[in-house]
Amino acid sequence: MQTKTRKEQIYQVAGRLFSQRGYHATSMRDLASQLGMQGGSLYAHISGKEELLVEIVGQATDQFEAALNPLRAADLSPQQKLREAVRAHIRVVTDNLESATVFFHEWQHLSPEAYAKVVARRDVVEKFYRDLLEEGIDKGVFRQDLNVKLTAIMILSVSNWVYTWYREGGPLSAEQIADQYVDMLLPGLLVQQ
Amino acid sequence: MQTKTRKEQIYQVAGRLFSQRGYHATSMRDLASQLGMQGGSLYAHISGKEELLVEIVGQATDQFEAALNPLRAADLSPQQKLREAVRAHIRVVTDNLESATVFFHEWQHLSPEAYAKVVARRDVVEKFYRDLLEEGIDKGVFRQDLNVKLTAIMILSVSNWVYTWYREGGPLSAEQIADQYVDMLLPGLLVQQ
DNA sequence: CCTACCGATCGGTAGG
DNA sequence: CCTACCGATCGGTAGG
């Protein structure tokens, strides 16, 4: 296991600063000084400030996709698949709190091309939950009268919002948060027994 | 009904620009030009850039308090009170989409003193929901094993997150969104019949 | 509300 | 990775 390349170090410190102060409020000199170098020296490693934002937001999106995609074809009941999805989703948020914060807060400040790509990849995550809900409806597990789109947004709301309040060392693990959320949400989704 | 004062116009345009571009990415000259004046002229009306942020965030907080506080002592069942609270909460978000966006995105960039005040006022809103849940538990309506704090955060999550996706002219009104959310959430909160 | 300006700082580059 | 620098722009002020 090699130590981090200088480039990865730069991304990491940029993620921390962007999440704390915001993208536009972080100067390249702030970033450089935290890395023990001069402002201009950063450009030996990166092409510009926006590369940092593109990279951090891209890393976060990668993580969400890597966490959810394997569940698409998983052999689980809809209830169990929802539980595993929310667990994985919240774990991505809590394990990558800084890049998740940058992802949710700063992606609007990307250039139009990078912005469009992120929108498309966000839509994939939302579609994952819509497909999951529709699968559950087809199987007779979830209520037929669900508003699939709004329900997917509800699941995303609670899972994403974790980035605003979760702090390491808090009383609940990512799994515990997810399980308690799913326990509260499932009764409203399931058909009456 | 008097037309807006110049100061109110400045706050409004600042809210729009801050919500679109972010606080730090909006220059006082951008703002001035949208108002048909020169950059320096703004300072005849306001003390500085931060006054704008303080004012916009303060307006949003005022709205949340004004919407929820009257419900504290309302003579409603816990279920109905929850429904009215989420309706009012989401209505504040949808009716003030720009200042709500600034509130959720930019309040971290306030000076330490202004920041502390906003934190305190956010805690009041969260406490409103915790009190509501505890009242429902005491009355035997909500489950005794609810994690009150996490449940309050869940309600805040879905209600607040509306700012990220709601657009005027969409298929659902604030009331419809709120009602569908509450319909889905209540079964998980109520004691089994 | 304008003109003209202030010092400070910005992202980025040239040349080593 | 550093020194030294570029033009541009920042928030804000003085004086009218």
CB of A39 closer than 8 Å to CB of A28: yes
- CA of B12: how far to CAs of A70, A129, A140, B38, B146, in Å? 46, 37, 49, 17, 41
pLDDT at res. B1: 52
Residue B96 has pLDDT above 80, yes or no: yes
pLDDT in tens, B124-160: 999 999 999 999 999 999 999 999 999 999 999 999 9
Cβ of A109 and B25 within 8 Å?
Answer: yes
pLDDT in tens, B24-34: 999 999 999 99
Residue A128 has pLDDT above 70, yes or no: yes
CB of A145 closer than 8 Å to CB of A50: no
How many angstroms separate the CA of A38 from the C1' of D3? 10
- For each of the domains in chain A, give its residue range(s) and CATH number, in order of start: 50-189 (1.10.357.10)
Q: Using CA atoms, how far apart are residues B189 and B34, in angstroms rounded to an integer?
A: 48
Residue A1 has pLDDT above 60, yes or no: no
Confidence of residue A4 (pLDDT cuts 50, 70, 90): confident
Search chain B and give the residue with CA nearest A171.
B150
What is the mean pLDDT of the segment spanning B16-42? 96
Q: Using CA atoms, how far apart are residues B56 and B7, in angstroms rounded to an integer?
A: 12
Beta carbons within 8 Å of A83's beta carbon, 6+ residues apart = A178, A179, A182
Chain B contact residues (CB < 8 Å to A): 21-25, 105, 108-109, 147, 150-151, 153-154, 156-158, 160-161, 165, 172, 177, 180-181, 183-189
Measuring from the CA of residue A32 to each C1' atom, give the nucleotide at the shortest distance. Answer: D1
Residue A12 has pLDDT above 60, yes or no: yes
Per DSSP, the three-state class of B190 is: strand
DSSP state of B193: -
pLDDT at res. A2: 57
What is the mean pLDDT of the segment spanning A96-117? 95
pLDDT in tens, A76-93: 999 999 999 999 999 999
Residue B3 has pLDDT above 80, yes or no: no
